[in-house]
């Protein structure tokens, strides 16, 4: 089964992705992981991508598509994959459709985790990290026992720059601008299933399982 997972920052994609791949026994294919693996092993595709990244440029659609196509050709993806972070554009979505069609496959479902912006801002702006050990906290749901001091190692707990409210608003604006065309593209093909990401993780997981026929 080929599943695409869409959702804004803070929607809980990481948690749900882990549950999906475990249930379907398919790999979690994210563009970030693909880039890192190809760069680490200095593959031809990785070196080509590195030229753009070193210049601070976006990796072109056609190269991203080739990287993803290469990943989907691996034996562990024979039964399917959960795609996270790809496609990002209509061009990539069409290319993915063509790649899969050549293998006699198709996208089976596109899941959209939907959470209102105000909730996402509250979730993300409340996140804190330990500067020493990386332990995560949330000022509302899981604060450290002592203010701004890590329970685990006693290190300083701080807020990352990209978790500040104004930065989050900018990230969400970019997400909506880039993702909305994809939402319409998959919706028009009857492949989109909107999941209410405001619910607790277990309820969201159950809704996703139902959407995937599990």
Please give the positions annotated as active site: 13, 88, 127, 160, 171
Q: Are 125 and 170 in contact (CB under 8 A)?
A: no
How many Cβ atoms sit within 10 Å of the Cβ of residue 34? Answer: 21
* Three-state DSSP state, 31: helix
Sequence-distant (≥ 6) Cβ neighbours of residue 198 within 8 angstroms: 115, 116, 119
> How far is Cα 20 from Cα 29, in angstroms, rounded to an integer?
12
Longest dimension (CA), the chain: 57
* Three-state DSSP state, 188: helix
**How far does the chain reach from its first CA to its final CA, in angstroms?**
12
Length of the chain: 214
The sign one gets for the Cα dihedral 119, 110, 34, 65 is negative
Radius of gyration over every alpha carbon of the chain, rounded to an integer in angstroms: 19
């Amino acid at each position: 089964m080929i599943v695409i997972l869409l959702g804004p920052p803070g929607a809980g994609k990481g948690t749900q992705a882990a549950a999906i791949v475990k249930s379907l026994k398919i790999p979690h294919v994210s563009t970030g992981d693909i880039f890192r693996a190809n760069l680490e092993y200095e593959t031809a595709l990785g070196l080509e991508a590195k030229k753009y990244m070193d210049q601070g440029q976006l990796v072109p659609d056609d190269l991203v598509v080739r990287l993803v196509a290469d990943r989907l050709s691996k034996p562990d993806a024979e039964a399917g994959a959960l795609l996270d972070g790809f496609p990002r554009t209509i061009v990539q979505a069409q290319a993915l459709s063509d790649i899969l069609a050549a293998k006699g496959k198709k996208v089976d479902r596109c899941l959209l985790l939907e959470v209102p912006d105000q909730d996402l801002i509250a979730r993300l702006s409340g996140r804190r990290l330990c500067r020493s050990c990386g332990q995560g906290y949330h000022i509302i749901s899981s604060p450290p026992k002592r203010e701004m001091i890590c329970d685990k190692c006693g290190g300083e707990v701080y807020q990352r720059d990209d978790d500040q409210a104004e930065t989050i608003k900018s990230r969400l604006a970019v997400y909506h601008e880039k993702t909305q065309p994809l939402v319409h593209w998959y919706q028009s093909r009857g492949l989109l299933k909107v999941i209410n990401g405001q619910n607790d993780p277990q309820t969201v997981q159950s809704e996703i399982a139902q959407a995937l026929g599990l």
